[in-house]
Structure 1
């Protein structure tokens, strides 16, 4: 039996109407899910305000209401708890409700613009290979040791996070690696969690539709490190100018990694090929299956984290060499006709630039580099012309197409991408609204030895148009098309 007063532990209460020594069944912030003897937390979201649904939750049997404003109509027998911030309260309540599971395992949070999924997923892979029961909370999937669950958000809501952490704790999981998005931090989803460490990858142009300014986006990321405990470590990329900013006010142990500047953990790229990278990590050479300088940073962060969590250096390097690339992150194959097709999640200017520069470093320049690129609707529009500029400047041919247009007109998005193309590169671009047709055209244009990059959606197996999701898998489509064309 769980009492309301027990799940309110560490929540700052402004006022209470009713009794907190009551038994409750479940906690919800979606009024549609509230039922008999539940707690309903009224959250102010970007689309709707939970306070408008308090009456509905009570009518469905909710026994307690957590709110920022007391409703005009107080129902007898219902407990109303007023707090300053219901999002923050929900995080603490969720942690208490599930028995504070983050304290029972070593939880590592990874934040930054690019690299979160790769680092979290490969750390999961590495610790599994090392023989530990391991958890993963990522954009691609959620893993409770060997059991896979579907992911819906980069950082899930507080209740979902704690639910899975509780499952991990019950399954004997020792380490959990979790992507921490700026939305998740801003919406207080990670409050109330006990982190063993935090990793900062890099910071570049993204999510300005939500955060409005780059400074606000940076400061939200920084907040994650500000709140780390003394017992935790904060591992930051010292080659990113925002790395030192992240740890200005942290109480945790500061640790740095870098390829170009002085740092606690250093690496050097000795060879970069389509088959992998030869790295020198802390003066030890290691061959890895991932490619590109951006992955050298990711792998160095993974190595440093493994050592900070107690793995032996040589064991960590050995396991590093065995890691396989993550779905939709520089995922490639070479067709029977010797066309290389690469699918990557690159959906920010910086990520697209990194991937294209990596391909250009490897290719001999005798082959064509054909890029298929778009931009998501209802998201940061200011990055669209930048992506058009990068794709056209760093490819021999760029096909501009739709991504997930959502509620926007895909043609309008394409026009905004085209606006960034310099006149000197006009001849390099084609615009094809239908993404499937754009991929087919890229395949038709490709000859033996050429490289096709399909950017933006990566691991996603759907396309979102006007509120509907349609089956769509870049990797499958390019694979099937090249086969049909006998290329």
Structure 2
């Protein structure tokens, strides 16, 4: 049991009705999960407002309620605390409830449109290989040393974050690498956490269904760096036009990395092949297993962060050369028929363009590049024609298909992608709504030495149709189909 006033430490409070010295059991922001002596935090979400469920939470045994608006009637024996922002209050309270575990770990947040999962995951791998106890909070999974837990969001809710950070401290974890999404920042999920460092990758068109404007999306990302403490480092990509904007108001120590412009940490691509990259980082050359310019940026960011965290430069280069690609991030296999199939999470115009340009830079020109791609439903619609145009322009053949249509009609989504295709590229395109059949068609079309890109879902092992998730793993399906068709 904890004391309410201790959990409320550092929470800006507007008004209190009742006693803050009461003992409380747990924190909840879902009224359905409230039990006797719990604290219910009323959150205003995108789809529902927790204030509507205050009465239900009290009926289920809540001993305290945290809200932005006091209810019209209060119940004797229940403490009501009014705050300006319950999202921020929940995050601070979650840290307090778990004993502020982020203070005891060197926590590094990675934010930006693309590269978050790769950088966070490979930093985890690198520090594990260096002999440290390490944690990972990512889109794909949560790792506490070698123990894996399933991830549900890019940036989990504050209770989940602090639960795992607390678990990490009990397991002796020294470093934790965490993806920090724009949604997570906007919803104050990282408020109250103590970061040792922040990394900015890049900023491109994404999540405009949520943030409405690019400026708002940029400013939300920037606010993460604004909140870093003086003791932290802020590492940014200066080749991105928003790179310096991110760190202009931070009090953290500023560092930069780049391939094209002046920076504290610089790299140059010497060779770019299908089996890896030869990079020159500073004065040293290193061969890494990942490919493409976008991965050169990722590897440079990983190198810089590892050095800033105290690892020796030559040791970091050695460890970089051992790192493997992340699940669903330019993950590929070569069939017996010498057909290369690449699975990638590229679900934004910029990430799709990066992957296709990378493949084209390695192709000799004699092979065909067949792209299978769709766009998610109930998400930013403005990127659909843009992605359709990019896929058609940079591929030999394109099959438009279903991604995660969610509650939308997949044929409508495909139609919106087709609208972006330039007239001269119409003949390259084909539409097959069923994703498995689309992948099968690509496998049937491909000849020796051709390349297939299956884009959009990457690490996801499900497809969501009409709100129902079904098992669907692009990599496994493509691998199985290729074996069956090449017998």
- Same fold, TM-score > 0.5, yes or no: yes
1:132-179, Cα deviation, whole Å (9 max, x unpaired): 000000000000111100000000000000000000011110000000
Residue aligning to 2:373: 373
**What is the CA–CA distance in structure 2 between the aligned matches of 1:369 and 1:128, rounded to whole Å?**
37
- Tell me how far apart the structure 2 counterparts of residues 475 and 217 of structure 1 sit (CA, whole Å): 31
Report what 2:476 is aligned to: 476
- 2 CA distance for matches of 1:17 and 1:209? 38
In structure 2, distance between residues paired with 1:63 and 1:139: 34
- 1:243 corresponds to which residue? 243
Instruction: Tell me the distance in 1 between the aligned counterparts of 2:121 and 2:372.
Output: 26
Aligned to 1:427: 427
Residue in structure 1 matched with residue 161 of structure 2 by the alignment: 161
**1:250-288: CA deviation from partner (whole Å, max 9, x where unpaired):** 000110000000000000000000110000001100000
Q: Distance in 1 between matches of 2:102 and 2:436?
A: 43
CA–CA separation in structure 2 for the residues paired with 1:12 and 1:454: 48
d(CA) in 1 for partners of 2:71, 2:391 = 53
SS of match in other structure, 2:321: helix
For structure 2, the 5+ residue unaligned runs are none
User: Which residue in 1 is equivalent to 2:306?
Assistant: 306
> 3-state DSSP class of the match of 2:382?
helix
Aligned residue number for residue 269 of structure 1: 269
- Following superposition, the deviation at residue 72 of structure 1 comes to 1.1
Residue number in structure 1 paired with 2:408: 408
Instruction: Kindly provide the CA deviation profile for residues 331-379 of structure 1, in whole angstroms up to 9, marking residues without a partner as x.
Output: 0000011110000000000000000000000011101000000000000
Give distance in 2, aligned partners of 1:356 and 1:405: 23
Equivalences for residues 9-88 of structure 1 within 5 A: 9-88=9-88
Distance across 2 between alignment mates of 1:30 and 1:149: 22
* C-alpha distance in 1 between matches for 2:230 and 2:436: 51
Q: TM-score, normalised by structure 1?
A: 1.00
How many residues get paired?
Answer: 487
> Distance in 2 between the 1:205 and 1:84 partners?
31
Q: Distance in 2 between matches of 1:84 and 1:423?
A: 53
* Cα distance in 1, alignment partners of residues 303 and 196 from structure 2: 16
Tell me which stretches of 4 or more aligned residues in structure 1 moved more than 4 Å: none
Q: Deviations over 1:174-199 (max 9, x none)?
A: 00000000000000000000000000
User: Which residue is equivalent to 2:197?
Assistant: 197
**Distance across 2 between alignment mates of 1:184 and 1:408:** 25
**1:193 is paired with a residue of what secondary structure?**
coil
Residue matched to 2:325: 325
User: In structure 1, how many angstroms separate the alpha carbons of the residues matched to 2:65 and 2:348?
Assistant: 40
Distance 1:328 1:206 in 2: 19
1:87-121 superposed Cα distances (whole Å, 9 cap, x missing partner): 01000000000000000000000000000000000
1:381-416 Cα deviation digits (max 9, x unpaired)? 000001000000000000000100000010000010
What is the match of residue 341 of structure 1? 341
Shift of 1:73: 1.6
> Equivalent residue for 1:148?
148
Which SS does the other structure have where 1:9 is aligned?
coil
1:445 equivalent in alignment to 2:437: no
Structure-1 residue corresponding to 2:181: 181
Q: Distance in 1 between matches of 2:61 and 2:467?
A: 31
2 CA distance for matches of 1:458 and 1:435?
A: 13
Q: TM-score, normalising length from structure 2?
A: 1.00
Runs (5+) with no aligned partner, structure 1: none
